[in-house]
Chains A and B, each alone.
Chain A
Amino acid sequence: EAGVTQFPSHSVIEKGQTVTLRCDPISGHDNLYWYRRVMGKEIKFLLHFVKESKQDESGMPNNRFLAERTGGTYSTLKVQPAELEDSGVYFCASSLWSGQPQHFGDGTRLSIL
């Protein structure tokens, strides 16, 4: 069984540019989560999809972040325009049911210059 895959593994962009991160969950997992870890801090929740619906987006920092999950399969997280404080590692996780353990991808390391 393939795990959660994230693309790209690393992205370096300049402040003000746009970046789109992609996450492919484990096949059949209806629940998809985005998290972020900034330097020196703990991993923090961004949002939760159940199929194509946003179940909880309480962790999204501001309206420069847009997450989508069209068709309930893969998800994208767009940052537009990127700011310096958006640098960090963005993790995606998926689970079969909402209360089950979440399985994580290896993350996208985002660097804003």
Chain B
Amino acid sequence: EDQVTQSPEALRLQEGESSSLNCSYTVSGLRGLFWYRQDPGKGPEFLFTLYSAGEEKEKERLKATLTKKESFLHITAPKPEDSATYLCAVQAPNSGGSNYKLTFGKGTLLTVNP
């Protein structure tokens, strides 16, 4: 069974203090790894997709990287508006190849203080 573990569960940063969030995964074969941002009372908002080890994607202050066992979401010089829960999810094919469901981690609650 596919598993996704995110750490830390919660992270408090001062504005401008860079850090990284971790997503470790166990799958039989990775089709894609997805990062989402979720604000309170809202649905997950898509950020990045990573497909193969070594791949990197960037968007403003966020940079996602992927290895064969884990992904990191690096946050550079965060601002208070970056405060949210960050979710990691994997998509892996089953033996029939028809599996497109996302398996989520529990998320990391990021708080950036001004």
Binding site for B on A (CB under 8 A): 4, 31, 33, 35, 41-45, 48, 55-56, 58-59, 91, 93, 98-99, 101-107
Contacts of A103 in B (CB 8 A): 46
Is B59 in the interface zone, CB < 8 Å from A? no
Contacts of A35 in B (CB 8 A): 102
A102 touches B46 (CB 8 A): yes
A104 touches B45 (CB 8 A): yes
Beyond A104-B44, A105-B43, A107-B43, whether A98 also contacts B100 by CB under 8 A is yes
Q: Categorize the interface residue count of chain B.
A: 20 to 34
Binding site for A on B (CB under 8 A): 4, 31-32, 34, 36, 41-46, 49, 87, 89, 91, 98-107
A42 touches B107 (CB 8 A): yes
What are 6 inter-chain pairs, A to B, with CB distance below 8 A?
A33-B101, A43-B87, A44-B104, A56-B98, A93-B43, A102-B102
- Alpha-carbon distance between A53 and B91 when the two chains are bound, in angstroms: 20
- Alpha-carbon distance between A43 and B100 when the two chains are bound, in angstroms: 15
- Closest-by-CB residue of A relative to B96 is A56
B31 touches A99 (CB 8 A): yes
- Alpha-carbon distance between A5 and B109 when the two chains are bound, in angstroms: 25
Contacts of A93 in B (CB 8 A): 43
